Structure 1
Amino acid sequence: MDLIELADVLEETKQVLKNCFKKYKLEEVFLSFNGGKDCTVLLDITLLVLQEMYERDDIANDLKVVYIRTKGPFKEIEEFVQEIKKIYGVKLIVSEGDMKKTLQKLLVEDPKLKACLMGTRRTDPHSENLRFMQKTDPSWPQIVRVSPLLNWSYHQIWKYIFVHKVSYCSLYDVGYTSIGSTEDTSPNPALLYKDARDRCVYAAAWRLVDPALERAGRGPQPCGELCQSVYLDDIDMTNDIEVTN
């Protein structure tokens, strides 16, 4: 469990966000949201930083948040997206299709946009060498990708969620650790265990021991039954470190 440096990566993230909003106006930035744990943490921290910078409690009204709906979305994700609108008071722009086409459409509709906030971490595919602020590849619509959570670990994300009481999609309570669409996502087999009644069930996402297995539920799943318990027992996620706001 990588918990002890949460305060450090949180401060780093806040500084990246402050640098972003010093360089770009609020109307020149949007946050890419997919209902997952990482972008939800990013949204929570972003609004805290903006409230501090602008000294306005209603700043969520002015942050452009774009929900990119995948093909075959989970109904739980769709429900959670609506919940987020109510919790934070953001006005979500819903877009269909892949990221590249969505980005092109957004830039045509709003040419002022210059930067996109993303919940990418270095453990995500093809992300190990990303910088906090980096232009998209030449083959993509041109915009600056801002990735304030790059150095966060899987368990630091969950630590923040529990300490700051951040809402999250209910799929994470039933074994999903990385969520895409219904076509490419299953509960993580590393969280499958037998309960006291000898039933095979899945532990919650935050109980995953090995963060390298975060994406084990993505893509085609092998057949067979895995019933070895590999989840964390009775760990209090709120008492390991002190988190500064």
Structure 2
Amino acid sequence: MSAYEERPLSPRDSESGYASGSSSEASITEVFFTKPHLKHLNQQLQKLEPEDILKWCIVSLPSLYQTTAFGLTGLVTVDMLARLKDSMSTQVDLIFLDTLHHFKETMSLVDKVQKRYPQVNLHVYKPQGADNTEEFVRKYGEKLWETNEELYDWVAKVEPAQRAYSELQVKAVLTGRRKSQGGKRGDLDIIEVDEAGLIKINPLANWNFGQVQDYIKRNNVPYNELLDRGYKSVGDWHSTQPIKEGEDERAGRWKGRAKTECGIHNSRSKYAQFLREQELKMQEEALRQAVETGLKVEA
């Protein structure tokens, strides 16, 4: 059952916003929000500071994780959570998708963060069947991000993310998305539910880059040194550039193209369709080769 599924509501559901189905523990559903409840939550959470949103998440959401590529906003969240540790007993683990194409500065930052916050558990997920760049090339070919961009997004980011959610039994994730980053993020809610029922919380959705940067400096949080070289949003080395004065934060990601997201926050149905298309192409290629082989035998 999706966490955002429409169904007839009982009077009890309408009053509470929760749907448990029964008081029996064995029959209680997983985290579930009705549309009215989700709307109400967003109206209330919009009024809170990020630290208070994080407190609400820890108290309210089971199996809560933070997904991060160690961007500036994600680092603020890591630091805030560490400071909440004194008053909140729940530890929020990190999920890092190592695409095998991060900048060396990003990988160095991962080590710095682990040393600064040794209490944080880090779960690293890589493309399936590849532990390093050489293995990735052998399995998927050279410059896959150019030859088949959709497939690259799937194998490097989307599939590892979904594998992490499944293996870790993730019900909710904290993200580093903000409205001020522009693009599709301009109308972000604090809390969202995707097609598969995964709850996504954007605790710093209402902060701008200046606020994030001020927090980092004020609290001496380690950050990616590429930010001192004109970068504001850092992804894979092959699709990230510094930006110019006045450009949106994420203008350096996939510069000159209409693309604004890597796929992790896109509709999952889009990738289900993509996988079906890939399977059909493989079947067509197998059929073509079988026909050619048969013709050669007859000749």
Matched, 1:88 2:146: no
CA-CA distance at 1:110 after TM superposition: 2.4
Q: In the alignment, residue 35 of structure 1 is paired with which amino acid?
A: F
Secondary structure at the counterpart of residue 84 of structure 1: helix
**CA-to-partner distance for each residue in 1:155-202, whole Å, 9 max, x for gaps?**
111111111111111111111111111111122233xxxxxxxxxxxx
**CA-to-partner distance for each residue in 1:122-170, whole Å, 9 max, x for gaps?**
133312222212111x2xx431001100000011111111111111111
Tell me the equivalent position of 2:14: none
Percent sequence identity is: 27
Using the alignment, how far apart are the partners of 2:84 and 2:202 within structure 1?
Answer: 15
Tell me the equivalent position of 2:213: 158
Residues 180, 76 of structure 1: alpha-carbon distance in 2 compared, 3 angstrom cutoff: same
**CA-to-partner distance for each residue in 1:26-61, whole Å, 9 max, x for gaps?**
xx111111021111111111222233223xxxx7xx
Secondary structure at the counterpart of residue 34 of structure 1: coil
Q: In the alignment, residue 217 of structure 1 is paired with which amino acid?
A: G
Tell me the equivalent position of 1:184: 239
User: Does the 8 A contact of 2:65 with 2:92 survive in 1?
Assistant: yes
More strand by share: 1
Q: CA RMSD in A?
A: 2.3
User: Does the 8 A contact of 1:39 with 1:119 survive in 2?
Assistant: yes
Residues 142, 96 of structure 1: alpha-carbon distance in 2 compared, 3 angstrom cutoff: farther
User: Which stretch shifts more, 143-152 or 96-105?
Assistant: 96-105
CA-CA distance at 1:220 after TM superposition: 3.9
User: Does the 8 A contact of 1:115 with 1:146 survive in 2?
Assistant: yes
Using the alignment, how far apart are the partners of 2:180 and 2:160 within structure 1?
Answer: 24
Q: What are structure 2's unaligned runs of at least 5 residues?
A: 1-45, 128-155, 257-299
CA-CA distance at 1:93 after TM superposition: 0.9
Using the alignment, how far apart are the partners of 1:66 and 1:41 within structure 2?
Answer: 15
Misfit runs of 4+, over 6 Å: none
Secondary structure at the counterpart of residue 65 of structure 2: strand
Tell me the equivalent position of 2:92: 63
Using the alignment, how far apart are the partners of 1:217 and 1:158 within structure 2?
Answer: 18
2:198 to 140, 143, 168: 143
Tell me the equivalent position of 1:102: 160
Using the alignment, how far apart are the partners of 2:55 and 2:215 within structure 1?
Answer: 19
User: Does the 8 A contact of 1:70 with 1:180 survive in 2?
Assistant: no
Matched, 1:216 2:251: yes
Tell me the equivalent position of 1:174: 229
Counterparts of 1:31-70 in structure 2, within 5 Å, are 31-54=66-89, 62-70=91-99
Q: In the alignment, residue 69 of structure 1 is paired with which amino acid?
A: D
Matched, 1:132 2:190: yes
Which has the larger Rg? Answer: 2
Secondary structure at the counterpart of residue 42 of structure 1: helix
2:176 to 106, 113, 119: 119
More helix by share: 2
Secondary structure at the counterpart of residue 179 of structure 2: coil
Using the alignment, how far apart are the partners of 2:159 and 2:75 within structure 1?
Answer: 22
In the comparison of the two structures, how many residue pairs are matched? 182
Q: What are structure 1's unaligned runs of at least 5 residues?
A: 1-8, 191-209, 222-245
